[in-house]
Structure 1
Amino acid sequence: MNEKIIALGDSLTLGYPFNEEKSWVAILREEHGLNILNKGINGDTTEGMLERFESDVVKQRPELVIITGGANDAFNFVPVQDMIYNYREMIRIALDNDIVPIIGITLPVDDEFAERKLKKFRIRIWEYCEEHSLHRIDFYSELLDTKTGLIKEMYDFDGLHPNPEGYRAMAKTAWNVLKRIINSR
């Protein structure tokens, strides 16, 4: 696959607490031969992602960008409207540069306050994607234990990050969306 893809995000993109080679991004690269770069940074917020969007995404000249973040914003008391603004700006910049934005829906977290904020954020970003016909990778629904509201135990490392099997599930979820997008281009 020749399409260049950037995965922009936080520790869930980077592959924390394991190394980058265990990330869902690396799994896609290895198992499906994708030309995908991991631009995940531990602890990054949507504001940080927006600040580095030009250097980490636009200057790399990809065809596609996967944007996945928000958990650190929720832990840092960032208002949902600011998170949405940052996403909308990244989407706008991507589209202005002929880059297809794909929105990764972030995982549940084991913190009541942060999860309440993330729920609102997920709903708002999902609706925005619907209104603007944007592609989504629904990591959330794939790894969610509907009984507990947390990451499924078989995929959970620490209540926030997946274990290696969780990263594999994220890669599978991303691949199911990416192959449709790539094959339609």
Structure 2
Amino acid sequence: MSGLLKFRYILFLFLLVACKGEPSEKQAEELPENAASEEEAPGESSGNTILFFGDSLTAGLGLEPEQAFPALIGERLDSLGYDYQVVNAGLSGETTASGANRLDWVLRQPVAVFVLELGANDGLRGIPLSETRKNLKDIVERVRESDSTTRILLAGMQLPPNMGPAYTTEFREIFPELAAQHNLHLIPFLLDGVGGIPELNQQDGIHPTAEGHRILADNVWEVLGPVLQAEALQAGQPGGDQTPGTASDTRP
């Protein structure tokens, strides 16, 4: 892919856990599954890897790989002189439970920054929020156990109002609460400026267009940029003199 020398788009083959019985209306609206053939195991990269671990929002469902926000982050890193390799480990249809099940596979490589974007499919399926919270907590703890130096960014998510006010409110609060409890960098709302805007979403009304993904990349960079800048300044590496913007961050 032209201009994406450090970007590897990794596709995984995993069987996702299916819900029993006939799909409900909530299930029918979920981010759809899109499992594909496994091309390459993510175990060959250096320690300068930024790994995006999520569902179809991360995978860029309906778009070319280079149009998804992880690839756009990779382009920005290159332009600023950062020596990082971006790995897109997004899998359409992923829930927090299935994500936890495949986590060990993606952690076979050293990871400098782990961007966790999961939970939307849990909410659209009406999965008990205690399970979503537990699974996200488990993923965070296992990433830290694998390498205590890995920086973790947690992408906040919100649900449409038809899920009910109590459920949607509690769901939204999961992400800032986990970020505070586990000292994570928080992206307040990944779909900020995109969710609910028809012209920035594909026909399903859920998955962003290429233009929408450019906004998602900006939302991620507001948090990721300062993290990388601080690391570069500390290490005296190129990129440390950049001004990537301000962050919404729970870490000092």
**TM-score after normalising by structure 2:** 0.64
Q: Which residue number in structure 2 is paired with residue 112 of structure 1?
A: 162
**Equivalent-residue separation in structure 1 for 2:67 and 2:159 (angstroms):** 20
Among 59, 62, 67, the alignment partner of 1:22 is 67
- The gaps in structure 1 that reach 5 residues or longer are 145-149
**Equivalent-residue separation in structure 1 for 2:164 and 2:93 (angstroms):** 14
Whether 1:69 and 2:118 are equivalent positions in the alignment is: yes
Q: Deviations over 1:95-138 (max 9, x none)?
A: 112222110113544x7128864542221221221233210123
Q: Deviations over 1:128-183 (max 9, x none)?
A: 21233210123346226xxxxx5233422232111111100011111121111111
Q: Deviations over 1:61-92 (max 9, x none)?
A: 11110000112112223111100001000110
Q: Which amino acid aligns with 1:55?
A: W
Q: Residues 120, 19 of structure 1: CA spacing in aligned structure 2 closer, same or farther, 3 A cutoff? A: farther
**Equivalent-residue separation in structure 2 for 1:106 and 1:182 (angstroms):** 23
The correspondence of residues 2-17 of structure 1 with structure 2, limited to 5 A, is 3-17=48-62
Is 1:71–1:118's contact at 8 Å kept on the other side of the alignment?
Answer: no
Q: What's the secondary structure of 1:31's corresponding residue?
A: helix
- Percent identity over the alignment? 24
The correspondence of residues 154-169 of structure 1 with structure 2, limited to 5 A, is 154-157=199-202, 158-169=204-215
Q: Residues 116, 151 of structure 1: CA spacing in aligned structure 2 closer, same or farther, 3 A cutoff? A: farther
The correspondence of residues 33-182 of structure 1 with structure 2, limited to 5 A, is 33=78, 34-56=84-106, 58-96=107-145, 97-98=147-148, 99-106=150-157, 108-109=159-160, 112-113=162-163, 117-140=167-190, 142-143=192-193, 150-157=195-202, 158-182=204-228
**Equivalent-residue separation in structure 2 for 1:115 and 1:23 (angstroms):** 31
**TM-score after normalising by structure 1:** 0.85
Name the count of aligned residue pairs: 178
**Equivalent-residue separation in structure 2 for 1:38 and 1:117 (angstroms):** 30
Q: Residues 178, 19 of structure 1: CA spacing in aligned structure 2 closer, same or farther, 3 A cutoff? A: same
Greater mean deviation of Cα atoms: 1-10 or 43-52: 1-10
Whether 1:32 and 2:32 are equivalent positions in the alignment is: no
> Which structure has the bigger radius of gyration?
2
Q: What's the secondary structure of 1:103's corresponding residue?
A: strand
Higher RCO (C-alpha 8 Å, min separation 6): 1
Higher helix share: 1
Q: What's the secondary structure of 2:89's corresponding residue?
A: strand
Higher strand share: 1
What is the RMSD of the two structures over their aligned residues, measured on CA atoms? Answer: 2.3
